[in-house]
A = this chain, B = another copy of it.
Amino acid sequence: MVLSGKGGVGKSTFTAQLGWAFAADEQLLVCPLLNLSHQLHLLTKTLWQTGIMDVDICGPSIPTILGIASEQVHSSSSGWSPVYVQDNFAVMSVGFMLSSSKDAIMWRGPKKNGLISQFLKDVDWGDLDYLIIDTPPGTSDEHLSIVQYLKESGIDGAVLITTPQEVALQDVRREIDFCKKVGIRVLGLVENMSGFVCPSCKTESQIFKPSTGGAKKLAEDMGVEMLGAVPLDPRIGMSADRGVSFLDQYPDSPASTAYLDIIDSQSVYFLL
């Protein structure tokens, strides 16, 4: 589960990168941290079956970021078919169910909860290795429902995304409290939009200044793992708008290195 507290910190973009990375077998085979059972798994199966469930009902951006915004959900005898980015990468979002992308989804909690329940029960996800859940900002209906509906199968953990400034961090503190209260393990914290390197003179600017120590200090204070910091690269947003994988487009960029380090890191890797 990918959580943030505050909106606009890069949750959906991170979710998409995570999905692309999990669905690309090459990323997984080179990781030296796999335990034996995972290694055995790889001997018989080279592609992980990956799913993304977008529960940001009023502001679904996953379809655009994954380049599948024009797709529609189809019904089959075994339920709704998710939309496939590639054979082993299934996605479900309310964005696939609207007649126009300009339509407001004016739904109160119960209706949102009903759809989330359907996403879990009525979608033919197949046999997934990973299900990544992209959430809206906050700690309300969508978050509580996901926890409630997945109580039996369990949620492996939550990755928290933030930007460096205090007004974002204070929402993350609340999100950590949420995880504690509902019993979800916090896999770690990712600081997004960490610094911006001017393309002209290479000077680094802190656009969202870590006035209270940034994510690193928060992670220390709250006892959660700091998974990494991704620099602010305007090409990340451009890739999201165009629906292409930033990791594929700019594999040698410092932001891609940061993303891959985070994705390959022990906590996220083993537990998601």
- Identify which of residues 138-197 in chain A touch chain B, using a CB-to-CB cut-off of 8 Å: 138-141, 143-144, 163, 165-168, 170-171, 173-178, 181-182, 196
Q: Mark A183-225, 1 if CB is under 8 A from B, else 0.
A: 0000000000000101111010111110110000000000000
The A interface is mostly helix, strand or loop, or mixed, namely: loop
Pick from A19-27, A108-116, A254-262, A264-272 the stretch touching chain B.
A108-116
Nearest 9 A/B pairs, CB to CB: A7-B7, A8-B8, A109-B109, A58-B138, A201-B201, A200-B203, A104-B178, A166-B241, A198-B198
Stoichiometry, as copies per complex, reads 2
Q: How far, in whole Å, are A232 and B136 apart by their CA atoms in the complex?
A: 24
If the complex has contacts A5-B59, A137-B136, A237-B165, are A103 and B177 also in contact, measured as CB distance less than 8 A?
yes
Q: How many residues of A contact B (CB 8 A)?
A: 66
> Inside 8 A of A8's CB, which chain B residues have their CB?
6-9, 137, 163, 168
Q: Which residues of A contact B (CB under 8 A)?
A: 5-9, 12, 57-59, 61, 64-65, 101-110, 112, 136-141, 143-144, 163, 165-168, 170-171, 173-178, 181-182, 196, 198-201, 203, 205-209, 211-212, 232, 234, 237-238, 240-242
